[in-house]
Chain A
Amino acid sequence: MEHQLKEEQGRIVVALKGDVDLQSSPAARSVLLDAVGRGFPIFVDLSDVTYIDSSGIASLVEALQDARKRGSRFALVSVSEAAHRVLQLARLDKVFAIHASLADALSRAE
């Protein structure tokens, strides 16, 4: 898994890429929690996620919970089909705010 973190105009975009699995999810978790810790709205770009497992989903849930506690916005954008399928199987697709693209997310105030 690779990741990319961009901070721009008072928001953070974290892009996760590749396989988020048991081996890489600890890294994903710390990237996400660090980003949330900076107190800005977080958009997680999952367009290049080729695989995500329960440990990866758990990292997203933990980051979401943390963001909510801080009152920060936390949204998933450009979710790949592979990632969307797992969110759906976990029945978490209604729990996360999911947007087709970053632009789409920004056009909607939370």
Chain B
Amino acid sequence: MTRPRVNENHTWKSDDAFSDHLELLAAMGQDFAASRDIDKTLEHALVRITEYLDAESGALFILDDEGKTLTCTSCHGATQITGFRLPSDQGIVGRAVQNNAGEIVRDASTDPSFFPGVDRQTGYTTKSILCAPISIHDRRMGAIELINKRGSDPRFTPDDLHILETMASSAGLAILNARMSEALVEKERFERELELAAEIQRSLLPERRDGGFPVHGASIPARLVSGDFYDFFTLPDGRIAFNLGDVSGKGMNAALLMAKTASLYRCLGKTLHHPGQLLARINAEIHETATRGMFVTMIGGIYEPATGLVRLANAGHEPPLLHRRDGRFVAFPAEAPPLGIVPSSDSFDDFPETELNLEGGTLYVFTDGVTEGYLKGGGTLRVEGFEAVIRENAGIPLARRLDNVTALFGGAGRTLRDDVTMLGVDDAEPAKARGAAPGSPTPRAPRAPRAKEEVEEEELVRLEVSARPDRLKLVRRAVSEAAALCGCGETLTRDLILGVDEACQNVIRHAYGDDPGGDMIVEIRRKGDELIIELRDFAPPIDVDKVRPRDLDDVRPGGLGTHLIGQVMDEVAFLPSPPGGGNLLRMVKRIS
């Protein structure tokens, strides 16, 4: 009798010692539980089963991931067909897998499913077959086939089948277990790679300079990797080139585009000293190669400490804020579209530049994570809040000022909603050096936050429709009616319609995606001078803490539509998933 090969990981009793099948099953279960090599353990289980049921040979077949092919992965006994493949609906083994039921074939030669090719190859004669599928619930994984019972009666019995089926279940669990731990290892590998990517990203940001340097930046990523970036470096003539950008979307693809854009800027910026030209060149590169729908909003600038002059180019980014010495704020809105949207043939046309003199003031460039991200204490800063924080911190060095702003967000263990990134150019010291006595900035008490007026909310419109393109007209009409109720002007009404329409499109195209037929609810309420628009869908909810970056991007896509929503709305935020699931997007438009 064939002895089982000895597996170095296990000790077991001789097969002869199994007095009944329960004992065999228990031993196999222990093997499986202790197994670190599923193939070896299965091979040994097959030996045990074949011997225990007194068959001449046994074969283990595993179904491929597509469920199309069965492959013999191990054999024991008289025939050696390891590596043999057959379509999953052929042969007696295929039939067992398809029906998900074991069977006894007393005389193989008369069974139409019997595949005689193997016998021809091996020179072996198959008489009887016992076959049981390996499956857990409806998940089919393969089958065990035993051939020719030894002894006086060559036929397998129903008891044999019952035992084989029990063994097959146990093997099924072991296979499932092994596959799950493989997936776990893969996930850990992915996480390690993500950490490496994050490390490389951090290395792309400039090192912090000493306190005397007029330019500083700060960035905290919402997740491991970030779509935000900033950089600054001194040019040979003493001027300082700086930039800050925000890649649409989140996750790995945003991070990769961020790395590309930041590297392009650093490389081209060493020789090209005109921000408008530089952004146009980068735009050409990104447009040529970027994934459809992704874009980058970016500000590039050059600061001259000797004069206080800054030249800026703004590609679709949040307007930078100049905090002047007299305490007032001036914003510089974008004059060019985000990078990656406009055709590359425009590359020879420079992006428009703005020139300003800081005159001892500080210029702040920031991403919308600063103005729209969740604060530790709840709520968002908005531009007004950001200005107030800057005022409060005006007396302290720039680097600490920026840190005091980032400290307002997230906090240990709490996920940020968006990357928070800022860069400041502080002209106070250079202005002193230029001899323009800077004096002390006009002291101004930070504006006391307006007391929250107790205003009743009034529901204007509530519309539940199928999330389909042909329902958008209806949505637009509803928004138009709500705007009319509030006496909104023509442009405001158009903007509102556009914003809501684009948000609905995101639901149709991305939240439901390939799974049409879901509903969405548009609800418009008025509260004082604010229109609050809530868009609810019933697609799988997005748990910002749990979803992987890619999943999140599927639902919050970059692209022109998202850009337009940001343009027309004052606030845009996903609220926590409502009871009953789905997603809830809240947009606010001030209509005063």
Q: How far in angstroms is the closest Cβ of chain A from B172? A: 47
Mark each residue of chain B from 485 to 511: 1 if its CB lies under 8 Å from any CB of chain A, else 0.
000001100110110011001001100
Question: In the complex the two chains form, what is the Cα distance from A19 to B346 in whole Å?
Answer: 29
Task: Indicate whether B552 reaches chain A with its CB closer than 8 angstroms.
Answer: no
Question: In the complex the two chains form, what is the Cα distance from A85 to B494 in whole Å?
Answer: 8
Task: Indicate whether A61 reaches chain B with its CB closer than 8 angstroms.
Answer: yes
Task: Indicate whether A23 reaches chain B with its CB closer than 8 angstroms.
Answer: yes
Contacts of B472 in A (CB 8 A): 21-23
Q: How far in angstroms is the closest Cβ of chain B from A32? A: 14
Q: Are A90 and B469 in contact (CB under 8 A)?
A: no
Q: Are B560 and A85 in contact (CB under 8 A)?
A: no
Q: Are B501 and A89 in contact (CB under 8 A)?
A: no
Contact residues, B44-80 vs A (CB, 8 A):
none
Task: Indicate whether B327 reaches chain A with its CB closer than 8 angstroms.
Answer: no
B509 closest partner in A (C-beta): A22
Q: Are A19 and B560 in contact (CB under 8 A)?
A: no
One of A61, A82, A92 near B494 (C-beta < 8 A): A82
Task: Indicate whether A68 reaches chain B with its CB closer than 8 angstroms.
Answer: yes
Contacts of A68 in B (CB 8 A): 343, 345
One of A21, A61, A85 near B501 (C-beta < 8 A): A21
Contact residues, A56-82 vs B (CB, 8 A):
57-58, 61, 64-65, 68, 81-82
Q: How far in angstroms is the closest Cβ of chain A from B299? A: 14
Task: Indicate whether A53 reaches chain B with its CB closer than 8 angstroms.
Answer: yes
Question: In the complex the two chains form, what is the Cα distance from A55 to B560 in whole Å?
Answer: 8
Q: Are A21 and B469 in contact (CB under 8 A)?
A: yes
Contacts of A64 in B (CB 8 A): 343
Contacts of B346 in A (CB 8 A): 95
Task: Indicate whether B430 reaches chain A with its CB closer than 8 angstroms.
Answer: no
Mark each residue of chain A from 85 to 98: 1 if its CB lies under 8 Å from any CB of chain B, else 0.
11001111011000
Contacts of B497 in A (CB 8 A): 51
Question: In the complex the two chains form, what is the Cα distance from A71 to B382 in whole Å?
Answer: 45
One of B336, B343, B469, B568 near A22 (C-beta < 8 A): B469
A82 closest partner in B (C-beta): B494
Question: In the complex the two chains form, what is the Cα distance from A81 to B495 in whole Å?
Answer: 12
Question: In the complex the two chains form, what is the Cα distance from A106 to B564 in whole Å?
Answer: 32
Q: Are B343 and A58 in contact (CB under 8 A)?
A: no
Contacts of B559 in A (CB 8 A): 54
Contacts of B545 in A (CB 8 A): none
Query: Contacts A85-B495, A89-B568, A95-B343: A51 and B476 contacting too (C-beta < 8 A)?
Result: yes
Task: Indicate whether B291 reaches chain A with its CB closer than 8 angstroms.
Answer: no
**Dominant SS among interface residues on chain B:** helix
Task: Indicate whether B334 reaches chain A with its CB closer than 8 angstroms.
Answer: yes
Chain B: residues with Cβ within 8 Å of the partner, total of 34
Contact residues, A13-70 vs B (CB, 8 A):
19, 21-23, 51, 53-55, 57-58, 61, 64-65, 68
Report the contact-size class of chain A (Cβ under 8 Å from the partner): 20 to 34
Q: Are B343 and A61 in contact (CB under 8 A)?
A: yes
Query: Contacts A61-B341, A95-B337: A90 and B491 contacting too (C-beta < 8 A)?
Result: no
Contact residues, B529-581 vs A (CB, 8 A):
559-561, 563-564, 567-568
Question: In the complex the two chains form, what is the Cα distance from A92 to B473 in whole Å?
Answer: 24
Q: How far in angstroms is the closest Cβ of chain A from B213? A: 33
Query: Contacts A90-B337, A91-B316: A53 and B342 contacting too (C-beta < 8 A)?
Result: no
One of B335, B337, B501 near A92 (C-beta < 8 A): B337
Contacts of B567 in A (CB 8 A): 89-90
One of A65, A82, A91 near B337 (C-beta < 8 A): A91
Question: In the complex the two chains form, what is the Cα distance from A90 to B562 in whole Å?
Answer: 10
Contact residues, B294-340 vs A (CB, 8 A):
316, 334-338
Q: How far in angstroms is the closest Cβ of chain B from A104? A: 22
Q: Are B502 and A90 in contact (CB under 8 A)?
A: no
Question: In the complex the two chains form, what is the Cα distance from A57 to B494 in whole Å?
Answer: 15
Question: In the complex the two chains form, what is the Cα distance from A61 to B337 in whole Å?
Answer: 13
Mark each residue of chain B from 460 to 471: 1 if its CB lies under 8 Å from any CB of chain A, else 0.
000000000110
Contacts of A82 in B (CB 8 A): 494
Contacts of A55 in B (CB 8 A): 505, 561
Question: In the complex the two chains form, what is the Cα distance from A21 to B501 in whole Å?
Answer: 9
One of B334, B509, B560 near A58 (C-beta < 8 A): B560
Question: In the complex the two chains form, what is the Cα distance from A54 to B472 in whole Å?
Answer: 13
A18 closest partner in B (C-beta): B473
Question: In the complex the two chains form, what is the Cα distance from A66 to B555 in whole Å?
Answer: 29
Question: In the complex the two chains form, what is the Cα distance from A94 to B341 in whole Å?
Answer: 13
Contacts of B563 in A (CB 8 A): 54, 90
Question: In the complex the two chains form, what is the Cα distance from A36 to B498 in whole Å?
Answer: 28
Contacts of B494 in A (CB 8 A): 51, 82, 85
B560 closest partner in A (C-beta): A54
Q: Are A92 and B342 in contact (CB under 8 A)?
A: yes
Q: By CB atoms of chain B within 10 A, which of A68, A90, A95 has the most?
A: A90
Contacts of A86 in B (CB 8 A): 498, 564
Q: Are B560 and A57 in contact (CB under 8 A)?
A: yes
Contacts of A23 in B (CB 8 A): 469-470, 472-473
Q: Are A90 and B498 in contact (CB under 8 A)?
A: no
Contacts of A21 in B (CB 8 A): 469, 472-473, 476, 501
Q: Which positions in B face A, CB cutoff 8 Å?
A: 316, 334-338, 341-343, 345-346, 469-470, 472-473, 476, 490-491, 494-495, 497-498, 501-502, 505, 508-509, 559-561, 563-564, 567-568
Interface pairs (7), CB distance under 8 Å: A21-B501, A22-B501, A22-B509, A23-B473, A51-B476, A54-B561, A89-B564
Given A64-B343, A91-B338, 5 extra CB contacts under 8 A: A53-B498, A61-B341, A82-B494, A89-B564, A92-B341
Q: Which 4 A-B pairs have the closest CB atoms?
A: A91-B337, A54-B561, A23-B469, A54-B560
